Amino acid sequence: MNSKSGLARRLWLAWQWSKLYLQRSSWLYQRVMEWRSRRPDMRVLLVKRGFTRIVIEAFPRSGNSFTVRLFRCANPDIDPDRISHHSHIVSNVKHAVRWGIPAVVVIRHPVDAITSNMIAVGESGDDVGRLLARKYRDFYEWVEAHRDDVVLLRFEDMTNGRFRRASEQINARFKTDFRTEFDEAALAQAAREAIQKGSPHRTDDARVPIPTAFRSSASADLKPRVAANPAVREAVDLYERLIATRPPETEPR
């Protein structure tokens, strides 16, 4: 699966680690996002004080796209530009909390999320697994420390027809009035269709944010090695602590 070798790969890894450290600075994040969001297709990356209605973020390959599509389909009256998402950097969540903007974080088991990431970037080395595990921990350690300031949603809830319950949690926590009455199955189907039509990666089986046969096959080979990586096991411990703090599960209506 490795798509790079030698010097190119070392430079790529060095750049990825550098970005990890740069992303820890909220001030620097804001400056970079302001620059990137000048492009029309990037404007939703940046949370904007007094404008953004909700922030929906997650570690990459954790259901960010599907959750955003569910929210948009359930709330078609909300301007899509007022939903901030897909920066995949916890600084976006930090700014939302600081400014009193509803902040929603989606979490997926790190073995699954990291495996999917490695498939998407075409890299299967243990060093990439360590990098991604560190990124996962950077993202969710802040969430753990500010657990009461955000609504934490499980990847499985988003993909298994529990968005009504999620919307009720968001409204209860932030005193909002987002829609909670809809047909779950129809909403999920509309979200999938929107991704199939609108995702910039819709023709790439490794990256499109819905299940594919290619990714299932690649995951079966890679996932056991990812699970055995000590750095990933630390991320699993964090995930289990966070999941333990969620409200008790209820059956979808």
User: In the chain, where are the structural domains located?
Assistant: 23-244
Find tokens 């699954």 and name the residue. 112
Write out pLDDT tens, residues 127-173: 999 999 999 999 999 999 999 999 999 999 999 999 999 999 999 99
The two structure tokens encoding residue 147? 């657990």
pLDDT, position 133: 96
Could you tell me the pTM of the whole model?
0.88
Q: What is the band of 247 on the pLDDT scale with cuts at 50, 70, 90?
A: low
Task: Work out the mean pLDDT of the chain and round it to a whole number.
Answer: 89
Q: Determine contact, residues 164/173, Cβ cutoff 8 Å.
A: no
- Tell me the chain's radius of gyration from C-alpha atoms: 18
Q: Return d(Cα 41, Cα 231) in angstroms, integer.
A: 34
CATH number for the region 23-244 comes to: 3.40.50
* CB proximity list for 110: less than 8 A, separation 6 or greater: 59, 133, 136, 232, 235, 236, 238, 239
Q: How confident is the model at residue 25 (pLDDT cuts 50, 70, 90)?
A: confident
Which residues are CB-contacts of 54 (< 8 A; sequence separation ≥ 6)?
71, 82, 83, 84, 101, 102, 103, 104, 170, 176, 178
Residue-wise pLDDT for 195-234, tens only, equals 888 777 777 787 788 888 888 888 998 999 999 999 999 9
CA atoms within a 13 Å half-sphere pointing along the CA-CB vector of 171? 13
